[in-house]
Amino acid sequence: MIKKKKQYVRIGLAIVIITLFWTVGTGYYRDLAAKNEETYKGLKIFSDVIELVEKNYVDPVDSKELINKAIQGMVHSLDPHSSFLPPEAFKELKMDTQGEFGGIGIVITMQKGVLTVISPIEGTPAHKAGIKAGDKIIKVNGESTKDMMLWEAVKKMRGPKRTSVVITILREGLKEPVDFKLIRDIIPIESVKSFSLKPRYGYIRITNFNDNTSKGLKSSLEKLESGAFPLKGLILDLRDNPGGLLNQSIKVSDMFLEKGTIVSIKGRQNAHTKIFKAHANKMKREYPMVVLINGGSASASEIVAGALQDHKKALILGTTSFGKGSVQTVEPLRDGYGLKYTIARYYTPSGRSIQAQGIVPDIKVKKRLSGESAMIESEEGLLKEKDLKNHLDAEPDAGNNKKSDSSTNGDRKKKIKMPRSDSRYGPLKIEMLESDNQVIRALEVLISYNIFKGEK
């Protein structure tokens, strides 16, 4: 059985190689012949390596696993946002944009190789059980999370409603690990939350861009705009919003713009070069706006902030955004696999590329920790797109198309830390907003604007 499997792998590679050889041999497109010849040679070397490892490696090897890892390495070398997705990872990626899933309700990350809780989501099984931000998950159902991929850990904790999962937590202040038995539930991904800061001044926070974001924003706007008097100002909070679906960022921007370009994307293929335009709205939103951003605002968040900034529809306040100005697409492959890869760069209405540069705020205001007089360390210490290995340049011809390697940043690498992002998953409370110096500053800007306009 194993021999047959190996034969299938080699036969598959041989077919690919023969096909490429035929393409070269036909004489079509002479300018591509040399390139195809190099591809043929490379595939032949790859086939030779697979055969030698299969025959002679000290332990038996899984040819399929070797090939998968080789493909993953090839794709990941392109840029930090491209990846080859095994069926489980492809399925998890699709679930993340659908608005709800079965699970325990925690946001996690890998911190120094350890699975760490960023925050429990309010009202979920994890939140009710007492899981806290900073908890380290060392086991899931008794299986160690050491060397486990993030998507693997997520998959193990997700599952049908009313089924159970046991996570083992290591918490600062506790001498021994603690087991939590949690009953899974349907976890809604509420991407839009709103609040009235004071009469006629609204606040809306968008935590990510999923399938339900534009619908949620429309509902929040209608609620804030339904008062007896017109809205006098709106704060749109995009801080620590990592992005999401491109079409949702366009719909969100379109709700505030009446005409003109929202964003343009430019790739090598004509099909990947598009300009997205705004349309007239039934409800013209002419009230002033302030958009809050920081180093954790990326991708779709930057599209919205850039569009509103360029059209002079909103004033941008906070700190420079992350700088992810590239567009990825996900292509389904055979046997449930998927390929996520970069197809284009995006540009704001004025033609600015945000890639590795970010949106620069009109008014720079650093975040102040609650109860402290000193500001949080400058965003220079936070991880940005330009710090990622193999990141794309702002323009396709910049630096002779060479991608930067963060390992050449010297001392900067030692300073890098992840941005604070736990607050965006918590409940929206007036007490929290009243102690947020960036929110207060934004409100002051809106009030001042109306004073200068002569409104009481």
Active-site positions read 299, 310, 324
Spell out the residues 6+ positions from residue 407 whose beta carbon is closer than 8 angstroms to its own.
Answer: 389, 413
**Residue 368: exposed, middle, or buried by beta-carbon count in 10 A (0-12, 13-18, 19+)?**
middle
**Residues contacting 271, CB < 8 A, separation 6+:** none
Residues 6 or more apart in contact with residue 202 via CB below 8 angstroms: 194, 195, 196, 224, 231, 233, 234, 235
What distance, in Å, lies between the first and last C-alpha atoms of the chain?
83
| 3-class secondary structure per residue, 75-138 | HHCCCCCCEEECHHHHHHHHHHCCCEEEECCEEEEEECCEEEEEEECCCCHHHHHCCCCCCEEE
Residue pair 341/355 in contact (Cβ under 8 Å)? The answer is no
* The two structure tokens encoding residue 338: 């998927």
181, burial (CB in 10 Å: exposed 0-12, middle 13-18, buried 19+): exposed
Reported as type and span, the H/E element at residue 39 is: helix 30-56
The alpha-carbon radius of gyration of the chain (Å, integer) is: 25
The amino acid at 187: I
Residue among 265, 239, 217 nearest 322 (CA): 239
- Cβ–Cβ contacts within 10 Å for residue 251, how many? 19
User: For residues 333 and 339, is the Cβ–Cβ distance under 8 A?
Assistant: yes
Which DSSP letter does residue 167 get?
Answer: E
CA 45 vs CA 25, 38, 41, 48, 68: distances in Å: 19, 11, 6, 5, 17
The answer to whether the CB of 141 falls within 8 A of the CB of 85 is: no
Angle between helices 63-76 and 2-25 (to 10 degrees): 40
- Enter the tokens of residue 428: 């929206």
